[in-house]
Structure 1
Amino acid sequence: MQRPLNIALVSASDLDGEHVQAIHTRELARALARPASDDSTGHQVTLYTRRHDAAARARVRLGPGASVQQIDAGPARPLDDDQLLQHVRDFAEGLRDRWRGTGRPDLVHAHGWIGGLAACAVARELGIPFVVSPHGLGAAERQAGRRVHPARARLEKAIGREAAAVVTACADEAATLVRMGVPRRTITMVPYGVDGDQFSQIGPAMPHGARDRLVTVAHDLEGGGVATAIRALVHVPGAELAVAGGPPREELENDAAVHRLRLLAKELHVEDRVIFLGRVPRKSLPRLLRTAKLALCLAPVQPSPLVPLEAMACGVPVVATRAGGNADTVLDGITGIHVPAGRPVQIGRAVRRLLTEDTTLNGYAIAAADRAHSRFSWDRIAAETLRAYTKVLPPEPEPEAAAAAETGAGVEEPVLVG
């Protein structure tokens, strides 16, 4: 049985939010701290983050054995990457102060490149095994048309090569890391998890009409494949498309991206079948997903890794591009189908065909829920993460050696030099 570990998770991003990295690190901390069985003990997990709110308490309990600890580094407000980099030294100094002496963790697992930058140097200085999870790479961000700090790729490579292990979420990201020069032997693939209690087939659903509903959830309405979904709707007569994402619902009228998408829908004569819901709170997402016949995940690059998982957990088959983690999460012809990015005619015809095949659709729905709740449960994700940790931790002493160390038997007196 593995001894309980003192694990330090590190993230420089705001952990109170609903973005992927915040959700993942919070849930991972809770899952690692839970006992694996009735006769085992959970690990002690501290999630270190930069203070983003002056009113936030210094230490907050996440659950049994898991807590968040705030570190003062720069102004107590959300910062972008350029601003965060100016305070990396302060963040690293805060970590160093906490890890010296009795606060020393057995292992450090950093999340994101800026958190990795701060934790890497301190872990190396103190001789603590260091693991990093990228949560997206600069190359993919740039491909998606987002601004990337000019030093990011160089720093990601340096952090990846310094780490004893790199835990990546999908094969696509692992391949990119290898091309960057990160040794393949240090890379372990552990996917994101899904909360099967929150996202499930059983539960309330939002009110909706008689049309077959397609749902797309996209934080970025411009790059999330929403325009492709609207164009595909032309070829799915009788179906409606519910779009979740963008600004809050009360701000939709003033949003430029929503305005452009509404114009597109009007030009294609499907405006009466496209519903813009605005940003849907996470607690309401299961109620929305349960109204869907299919979930559309059509981003051409860097799709959300959580949306297909959450849809599948609610028993909704997924129509997805093969970008990012979609290729690993959605099993083509089993839990949904893969479609080419940016091909609305082909996508629309595939969706229309699926909606007429009730037996196939029901089979996909059953398989999707089963896969989400078994393969991507947080207990399984925590167990796989722990296996990655054990590869880089020093071997535990044999029982005889441990007993000798406790009694002093067989231990030579130290030789003083100088």
Structure 2
Amino acid sequence: MSQSHPSAGRVAMVSEHASPLAELGGPDAGGQNVYVAQVARQLARRGHEVVVYTRRDDPRLPDRVTTPDGVKVAHVPAGPAAPIPKDELLPYMPQFGAWLAREWSAEPPDVVHAHFWMSGTAALAGARDLGIPVVQTYHALGTVKKRYQGPADTSPADRIAIETAVGREASAIIATCRDEVAELEAMGLPRGNISIVPCGVDPDEFSPVRGAERDRSAPRRLLTVGRLVPRKGFDRAIRALADVPDAELLVAGGPEQALLAAEPEAERLRAIAEEYGVADRVTLLGGVSREAMPRLMSSADLVLSLPRYEPFGIVPVEAMSCRAPVVATAVGGQLDTVVDGRTGVLVPAGDDSPDADHAVGATVRCLLDDPDLLARHGDRGRRRVLDRYTWDRVADGVARVYSAVSSVPSLSGVVR
């Protein structure tokens, strides 16, 4: 790894299951892929030399790829060169870590940034004997997943113990929100090693789309977005719709619309809509491309983000970036991103009781009855994103953490 700028640093990112090259919106691309791709891109633009190490899951992949932004992506041989569910990857992490140790012994990076707990085990194995500092970002925590999923949690049995050990050995931990800090402290990890750096959004990609607004004579539009899984709370949005006359609800997520008929969660949501008498006002859109999402969000009177738990929750930030006001459950990162009464409204996560559903419906109805308030929420949300949640600002925060534990300078702004 040769430096391309006199004050640049050599940064290694380890993202074992989430490649920055994965097609956005595809089945294997989630928030971690986007985060790694965007932070790596921003750091490379500042002159840092960035290599992302991800597991080879296809024998046809080249050993290394360089993106147009100058980020190098290395495909590490660890386990079969085939797709494997991430919860089944732990046995291959020693092989991943041994490969990194050989790679870095020849030309060590200045700092290693591990993404997800299994990446942490591989990164520490590769860096430990070389004295390279490791920064850990979990993206999701086993304690939270186990609490909310219970027996349905498919994580390895020793995930939480390994996560704790990784956090104790790492030079620094990056949490994405205050709620995650509390979880990490409850695991026994020292607060002094934890910094908060949120996830981000591209405000040029997610921006208000002129002409997307709908005619006032049309039904008011509610939108909810996310993976088609029960914890995202789409069922709660459907039940709340029963208390909001003259409104439609669009649900964006899951496979393409033609394949929704075979999706169990889609079938469950349709049954709930029938039960509550709103089936004619609920549309399951299936998966929506990132390119189409800004127009869809810009067309919504309100974006509903009602998960039962959420490590960070990028949907409210993307919605605010499109100047869409948000009703969100007071969980996880949404407690930080959505300012209650300023950029939208926070509602209790609730217990799926009728009273909780009616409360959400009443909140939505009051907001829809005040278009001027909705507009103010939307304007303030967009300003909040520009102030706090651009990828440039996220990269500033990440670079400050690197600088605190290594020789990597905290460069601000584009240097090349």
1:279 aligned residue (265, 276, 287):
287
In 2, distance between residues paired with 1:115 and 1:72? 14
Distance in structure 2 (CA, Å) of the matches to 1:82 and 1:142 = 13
Q: Please state how far the C-alpha of 1:287 moved relative to its aligned partner.
A: 2.2
Equivalent of residue 213 in structure 1, options 221, 231, 246: 221
1:23 aligns with 2:22: no
Match of 1:414 in 2: none
1:10 aligns with one of 14, 17, 39: 14
List aligned pairs for 1:132-143, cutoff 5 A. Answer: 132-143=136-147
CA distance in 2 between counterparts of 1:362 and 1:394 reads 46
TM-fit CA distance, 1:186: 0.1
Letter in 2 for 1:52: D
**1:176 aligned to which of 159, 170, 183:** 183
Counting only pairs closer than 5 Å after superposition, residues 280-359 of structure 1 correspond to structure 2 as 280-302=288-310, 305-342=313-350, 343-359=356-372
1:159-200 CA-partner distances (Å, limit 9, x unpaired): 001011000101111111111011110000000010112100
Alignment partner, residue 114 of structure 1: 118
TM-score (norm 1): 0.89
Deviation at 1:394, TM superposition (A): 5.1
How large is the RMSD of aligned CA atoms in angstroms?
1.9
Alpha-carbon distance in 2 for matches of 1:178, 1:168: 11
Matches for 1:175-194 after TM superposition, within 5 Å:
175-194=182-201
1:157 & 1:177 partners in 2: Cα distance?
8
Residue number in structure 2 paired with 1:401: none
In structure 1, C-alpha distance between the alignment counterparts of 2:317 and 2:50, rounded to whole Å: 25
**Does the 8 Å CA contact 2:402/2:408 hold for their aligned counterparts?**
no
Map Cα deviations across residues 295-344 of structure 1 (whole Å, 9 max, x no partner): 10101112662111111111101100111100001111111110012321
Sequence identity, in percent? 42
Shift of 1:104: 1.1
Aligned to 1:415: none
Gaps of 5+ in 2: 23-27, 351-355, 410-416
1:381 matches 2:388 = no
Among 140, 157, 166, the residue aligned to 1:150: 157
Distance of 2:72 and 2:357 partners within structure 1: 46
Alpha-carbon offset, residue 223 of structure 1: 1.4
Aligned partners of 2:292 and 2:56: how far apart in 1? 28
Asked whether the 8 Å contact 2:18–2:29 carries over to 1, the reply is: no
Contact 1:26 1:62 in 2 (8 A): no
Q: In the superposition, relative to structure 1, how do residues 192 and 364 fare at CA in structure 2: closer, same or farther (>3 Å)? A: same
Alignment length (residue pairs): 389
Matched residue type, 1:390: S
1:76 to 78, 81, 98: 81
CA deviation vs aligned residue, 1:145-164 (integer Å, no higher than 9, x gap): 13221110000000001011
CA contact (8 A) 1:81 1:149 kept: no
Q: CA deviation at 1:373?
A: 2.3
Distance (whole Å) between structure 1 residues aligned to residue 42 and residue 157 of structure 2: 35
Contact kept, 8 Å, 2:240 with 2:361, in 1: the verdict is yes
Q: Report the TM-score when normalising by structure 2.
A: 0.90
**Partner letter of residue 284 of structure 1?**
A
In 2: Cα distance, 1:337 partner to 1:68 partner: 40
Kindly provide the CA deviation profile for residues 243-270 of structure 1, in whole angstroms up to 9, marking residues without a partner as x. 0112221111122211121111111111
1:102-153 deviation digits (Å, cap 9, x = unpaired): x310000000011111001221211001100000100111233132211100
* 1:370 aligned partner: 383
Task: Return the letter of the residue paired with 2:120.
Answer: G
Q: Any conservation in 2 of the 1:30–1:63 contact (CA below 8 Å)?
A: no
User: What secondary structure is seen at the aligned counterpart in 1 of 2:284?
Assistant: strand
Aligned residue number for residue 165 of structure 1:
172
CA distance in 1, matches of 2:147, 2:400: 32
> Is the Cα–Cα contact under 8 Å of residues 206 and 288 in structure 1 kept in the other structure?
no
Question: Is the Cα–Cα contact under 8 Å of residues 94 and 125 in structure 2 kept in the other structure?
Answer: no
1:189 maps to a residue whose letter is I
For residues 121 and 355 of structure 1, the distance between their equivalents in structure 2, rounded to whole angstroms, comes to 54
After TM superposition, the structure 1 = structure 2 runs for residues 250-269 of structure 1, keeping only pairs within 5 Å, are 250-269=258-277
Corresponding residue SS for 1:148: coil
Structure 1 residue 392, shift from structure 2 partner: 0.9
Q: Distance in 2 between matches of 1:62 and 1:338?
A: 39
Change (3 A) 1:143 1:220: farther
Gaps of 5+ in 1: 36-41, 397-418
> Structure with the greater relative contact order (CA < 8 A, sep ≥ 6): 1 or 2?
2
